[in-house]
Amino acid sequence: MSDKILYGCAAVFNTPDEITHAAEKVANAGYKKFDVHTPYPVHGMDDAMKLAPSKLGYVALVFGLSGTLGALFTLWWISAVDYPIVIGGKPFFSFPAYIPVMFELTVLSAAIATVLAMLFIFFKLPNNSHPLHGTEYMKKVSSDKYGISIQADDPQFDKEKIKELFETLNAAKIYLIHWDNDELNHKHKILEPKFLAFLFVVALISSGTAYFTLNKLMFMVPFNWMMDQPKQSAQQKSLIFDDGFGMRNPVPGTVARGYLPYQFKGQPDLAGEKLVNPVPISNESLKLGGQKFDIYCSPCHGYHGDGASRLRGQFPNPPSLHSDKVRKWSDGRIFAVITDGQNIMPSYSTQLSVEERWAVINYVRALQRALNAKESDLQ
């Protein structure tokens, strides 16, 4: 017994009147490190013990207000800065609509912060190794008795004097309470394997769930039955054909309707000599040609064929179509350029049908004529 360190001296009383009286007496006697333990809060005890009013209200105030302002700032940033979207014709920052959320976050942060502050900062809980735990004294004050204890580290502490004081106050029972040596000597090491294992498991579970929810769960495709159909889609592997291709080539030698092979591939000059423009210049053909020219040629050559491209230097500017050279070319020679391409100009044979190519050429001729009009054109 004697090798244990004394925590303090405690006494239990039977009635709330007695404990209030005892608390007053102990406080008046100048003890500082004493505490009263009662099964429920006894009215008037704070005054009897001369306790200063609780400061937890300030915690609630500070965290409540930061909840409000934090919410306001976040809502403003989200809806007016980060991703402004007009909703119902309201301004991006529509304050009245934010009030409900701001209010809820105020309550939430104040409630959580106050309770956490109370438990962990004001009470320094959890603390299951306090010397009062596991004593008969604690059993009594948890149920129906009222106790008072004075700590041994109080400057005025004197075992005998305190016992006497308690006796004069009519204490039902007096206890000497000691520290538990085992608990006192037990050192909690941070690097205990059990603790590390616990941390590891917690980290694993929390990161796993976060990963699963944010990357898998919330991307789960719902009810996609209409998407899996037992048909063959383009680019898919086929199990039916030996070559494994889902898309089939036409039978060798098949010729598409209206297809005529181009005889002068790679021989623009020959084409210029041999090809004759079969499309007569008419209103329709000029209209068609103008339309197609504006679509396919104007991005590089400009609307007037003068090489004023709209590509802002992202592609080498082509030469003017009003050069003497092109003006002197036969229609067939231009046809060869459109069909085969020329150096970096690509071929337009897939975009433009044969007819359309001739129509474009007619239009180019009209553009050329417009820049070099003869006197007679004005009449």
Site string for ligand HEC, 271-310 (x = CB under 6 A): -------------------------xx-xxx---------
Distance CA(223)–CA(206), nearest Å, equals: 28
Footprint on residues 274-313 left by another protein (CB under 8 A): none
Within 8 A by CB and 6+ apart from 365, the residues are 281, 331
Q: Does 1 bind another protein (CB under 8 A)?
A: no
Q: Which stretch binds ligand HEC (CB under 6 A): 92-100, 227-235, 273-281, 342-350?
A: 342-350
* E strand segments, the chain: 6-13, 34-37, 146-151, 173-178
Distance CA(112)–CA(116), nearest Å, equals: 6
Residue with tokens 């103008």: 290
Instruction: Residue 348: name its binding partner from ligand HEC, another protein, none (Cβ under 5 to 8 Å by kind).
Output: ligand HEC
Q: Which stretch binds ligand HEC (CB under 6 A): 113-121, 175-183, 245-253, 339-347?
A: 339-347
63 vs 335, beta carbon nearer another protein: 63
Footprint on residues 96-135 left by another protein (CB under 8 A): 97-98, 100-101, 103-105, 107-108, 110-112, 114-115, 118-119, 122-123, 125-130, 132-133
Closest distance to another protein from the beta carbon of 59 (Å)? 9
Q: Does 139 bind another protein (CB under 8 A)?
A: yes
Torsion, Cα of 145, 151, 155, 160 (10° steps): 70
Q: Which stretch binds ligand HEC (CB under 6 A): 5-13, 239-247, 312-320, 368-376?
A: 312-320
Q: Is 108 exposed, middle or buried (0-12, 13-18, 19+ CB in 10 A)?
A: middle
**Beta carbons of 304 and 367 less than 8 angstroms apart:** yes
8 vs 272, beta carbon nearer ligand HEC: 272
Among 344, 350, 374, 375, binds ligand HEC (CB under 6 A): 344
Q: Does 323 bind ligand HEC (CB under 6 A)?
A: yes
**Phi and psi at residue 65, to the nearest 5°:** -65, -40
Q: Does 47 bind another protein (CB under 8 A)?
A: no
**Beta carbons of 24 and 70 less than 8 angstroms apart:** no
DSSP state of 245: B
Q: Does 213 bind another protein (CB under 8 A)?
A: yes
Distance CA(74)–CA(83), nearest Å, equals: 12
Tokens of 265: 């591939």
63 vs 358, beta carbon nearer ligand HEC: 358
